[in-house]
């Protein structure tokens, strides 16, 4: 039910912090224009606190101050900000009267309102445009098809077609018995049996199932097909039947939809927040930590054994795309790089054992994060040989590749790292990877990072 709510609590806090900064800047500019100096007197410091507090109260009354995601048109976003300022002015005027603050310069107040309105209005316009840019980029572009041509399918198409929804492209209907008199008949691309081939050929991202939900086998088959090929499968029910499993239900406008899984990182705003943190965090590590530890680790590796400082290996990333993963070399030069490391592995050098124990061997992967191949937190990228093997014996294995792999992950801090001698050990990793996908939040990433650092300090028995 929470799928398309306008901003989660984290985004609200970020926007409110941005607004307070802009209000502070407005006070400085207004004071400079009015009195010729940036530093304002004590009474105006108190007034600034009151001004910001009232803005916070206004944002608590209505969500419209924070409705800037892709379903809110630009003109409506600006109108919402104007309404917020009208309410703010009314409340602030009441506070001025109640607290006897009539001595405050009316001209300064006018300058402050004008500059604050301009700055916050411009910031909202900029955020809306940036949001539209991301929704039109490869990060958010989504091709979708609709199975069915009945009332639910027609209403869904009309809703997508008439509302501001950039970043999506309708590719066609599929139905075994379409109505020849339907205005959408020429958009039918084939029968239901043709969906899979069409989706693979045109790289479809989302499948909307708008037929009656009484064909359980067919629905499960399409759902499995979508999972295996990194597509999102959603049902748009007419409630003629109920699916026999836990599902997530939400509303797009007034249309009910069912998703097999809850996936917070499907939201563009969440992906942007996660990517922004990845860039900031990886840059901090590369600029602050790398210059100190890199020479020491490089010298130790070179003294301990012959060979390169860095180890490069192809790993499957998001949607199984291969990328070059970087690590500090921890083994003697060998031809068995696709074999997982084991306890007391003779290939591991003495320096390599220490690097693995402390996770320092993975520091170069922050360059992978900066390049966009990895994230700071996510499912660990397995070997290509593991992908080929486990995708055949573990049904949900491919699901972990819906998201960008990470340097550390939920499974690793939950005790499931190291060697996977038995299938059930890998199954537990997959279980935690899927839990991470379905329950992602910014605070969850922070918790995983903290636990990773804590485990590095106290040591892990499976780290080898």
What is the rounded distance in angstroms from the CA atom of residue 267 to the CA atom of residue 11? 12
Cβ–Cβ < 8 Å for 197, 204 = no
pLDDT band at residue 1 under the 50/70/90 scheme: very low
Which helix or strand (DSSP H or E) is residue 168 part of?
strand 168-174
Predicted pLDDT of residue 190: 92
What is the rounded distance in angstroms from the CA atom of residue 438 to the CA atom of residue 379? 12
- Asked whether the predicted pLDDT for residue 221 surpasses 90, the reply is yes
Which backbone phi and psi does 168 adopt, to 5 degrees? -125, 155
Predicted pLDDT of residue 209: 94
Locate CATH 3.40.50.720 in the chain.
142-262
Mean pLDDT of the chain: 81
3 state SS of 253: coil
pLDDT band at residue 199 under the 50/70/90 scheme: very high
Superfamily of domain 142-262: NAD(P)-binding Rossmann-like Domain (3.40.50.720)
Predicted pLDDT of residue 83: 75
- Asked whether the predicted pLDDT for residue 187 surpasses 90, the reply is yes
Which letter does DSSP use for residue 45 in this model?
H
Predicted pLDDT of residue 75: 62
| Residue 414 structure tokens | 């939950």
| Of residues 385, 389, 384, 367, the one with CA closest to residue 376 | 367
- Asked whether the predicted pLDDT for residue 207 surpasses 90, the reply is yes
Q: Which residues make beta-bridge pairs with 143?
A: 169
**For residue 399, what are the contacts with CB-CB under 8 A and spacing of at least 6?**
227, 430, 433, 434, 437
| Of residues 154, 142, 225, 160, the one with CA closest to residue 183 | 154
Predicted pLDDT of residue 264: 85
| Of residues 417, 424, 439, the one with CA closest to residue 390 | 424
Predicted pLDDT of residue 459: 67
Q: Which residue has the higher pLDDT, 324 or 101?
A: 324
| Residue 458 structure tokens | 């106290």
- Asked whether the predicted pLDDT for residue 339 surpasses 80, the reply is no
- Average pLDDT rounded to a whole number, residues 14-42: 82
- Average pLDDT rounded to a whole number, residues 318-344: 83
- Average pLDDT rounded to a whole number, residues 168-188: 88
Model pLDDT for residues 45-74, shown as the tens digit of each residue:
778 888 888 888 777 554 445 544 444 555
Predicted pLDDT of residue 5: 39
- Asked whether the predicted pLDDT for residue 2 surpasses 50, the reply is no
- Average pLDDT rounded to a whole number, residues 295-308: 91
Q: Where are the alpha helices (DSSP H) in 99-215?
A: 106-136, 151-162, 195-201
pTM of this prediction exceeds 0.85? no
What is the rounded distance in angstroms from the CA atom of residue 141 to the CA atom of residue 450? 33
pLDDT band at residue 117 under the 50/70/90 scheme: confident
What is the rounded distance in angstroms from the CA atom of residue 85 to the CA atom of residue 107? 17
pLDDT band at residue 247 under the 50/70/90 scheme: low
What is the rounded distance in angstroms from the CA atom of residue 348 to the CA atom of residue 464? 9
What is the rounded distance in angstroms from the CA atom of residue 321 to the CA atom of residue 339? 20
Which backbone phi and psi does 379 adopt, to 5 degrees? -60, 135
Cβ–Cβ < 8 Å for 269, 14 = no
Predicted pLDDT of residue 208: 95
Q: Which residues make beta-bridge pairs with 250?
A: 257
DSSP E strands in 318-451: the ranges are: 322-328, 375-377, 406-408
- Asked whether the predicted pLDDT for residue 251 surpasses 80, the reply is no
- Asked whether the predicted pLDDT for residue 346 surpasses 90, the reply is no
User: pLDDT exceeding 90 applies to what percent of the chain?
Assistant: 26
Which letter does DSSP use for residue 331 in this model?
B
Which letter does DSSP use for residue 231 in this model?
-
- Asked whether the predicted pLDDT for residue 7 surpasses 70, the reply is no
| Residue 382 structure tokens | 């397995």
Cα of 245 vs its chain's centroid, Å: 26
3 state SS of 189: strand
Pick the range with the lowest mean pLDDT from 121-135, 226-240, 272-286, 368-382: 121-135
What is the rounded distance in angstroms from the CA atom of residue 55 to the CA atom of residue 85? 8
Predicted pLDDT of residue 233: 93
- Asked whether the predicted pLDDT for residue 272 surpasses 90, the reply is no
Pick the range with the lowest mean pLDDT from 7-11, 122-126, 222-226, 391-395: 7-11
Cβ–Cβ < 8 Å for 70, 135 = yes
């Amino acid at each position: 039910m929470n799928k398309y709510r306008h901003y989660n609590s984290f985004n609200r806090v970020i926007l409110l912090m941005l607004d307070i900064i802009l209000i502070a800047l407005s006070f400085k500019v207004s004071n400079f224009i009015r009195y010729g100096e940036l530093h304002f007197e004590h009474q105006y410091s108190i007034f600034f606190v009151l001004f910001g507090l009232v803005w916070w109260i206004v944002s608590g009354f209505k969500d419209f101050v924070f409705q800037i995601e892709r379903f809110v048109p630009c003109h409506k976003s600006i109108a919402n900000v104007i309404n917020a300022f009208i309410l703010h002015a009314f409340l602030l005027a009441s506070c001025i009267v109640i607290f006897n603050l009539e001595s405050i310069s009316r001209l300064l107040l006018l300058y402050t309102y004008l500059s604050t309105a301009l700055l916050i209005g411009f910031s909202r316009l900029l955020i809306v445009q940036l949001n539209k840019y991301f929704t039109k980029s490869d990060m958010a572009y989504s091709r979708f098809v609709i199975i069915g041509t009945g009332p639910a399918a027609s209403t869904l198409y009309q809703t997508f077609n008439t509302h501001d929804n950039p970043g999506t492209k309708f590719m066609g209907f599929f139905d075994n018995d379409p109505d020849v008199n339907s205005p959408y008949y020429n958009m039918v691309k084939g029968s239901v049996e043709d969906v899979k081939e069409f989706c693979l050929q045109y790289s479809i991202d989302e499948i909307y199932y708008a037929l009656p939900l009484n064909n359980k086998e067919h629905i499960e088959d399409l759902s499995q097909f979508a999972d295996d090929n990194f597509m999102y499968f959603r049902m748009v029910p007419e409630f003629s039947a109920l699916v026999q499993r836990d599902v997530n239900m939400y509303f797009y406008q007034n249309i009910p939809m069912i998703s097999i899984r809850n996936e917070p990182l499907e939201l563009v705003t969440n992906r942007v927040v996660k990517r922004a943190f990845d860039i900031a965090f990886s840059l901090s590590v590369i600029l602050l930590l790398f210059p100190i530890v890199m020479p020491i680790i490089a010298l130790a590796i070179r003294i301990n054994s012959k060979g390169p400082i860095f180890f490069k290996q192809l790993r499957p990333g998001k949607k199984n795309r291969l990328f070059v993963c970087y690590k500090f070399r921890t083994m003697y030069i060998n031809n068995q790089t696709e074999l997982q490391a084991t306890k007391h592995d003779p290939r591991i050098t003495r320096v390599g054992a220490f690097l693995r124990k402390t996770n320092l061997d993975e520091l170069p992967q922050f360059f992978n994060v900066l390049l966009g191949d990895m994230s700071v937190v996510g499912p660990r990228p397995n070997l290509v040989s593991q992908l080929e093997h486990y995708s055949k014996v573990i049904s949900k294995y491919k699901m972990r590749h819906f998201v960008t792999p990470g340097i550390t992950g939920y499974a690793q801090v939950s005790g499931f790292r190291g060697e996977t001698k038995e299938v059930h050990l890998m199954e537990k990793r997959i279980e935690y990877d899927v839990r991470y996908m379905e329950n992602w939040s910014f605070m969850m990433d922070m918790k995983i990072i903290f636990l990773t650092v804590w485990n590095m300090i106290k040591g892990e028995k499976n780290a080898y």
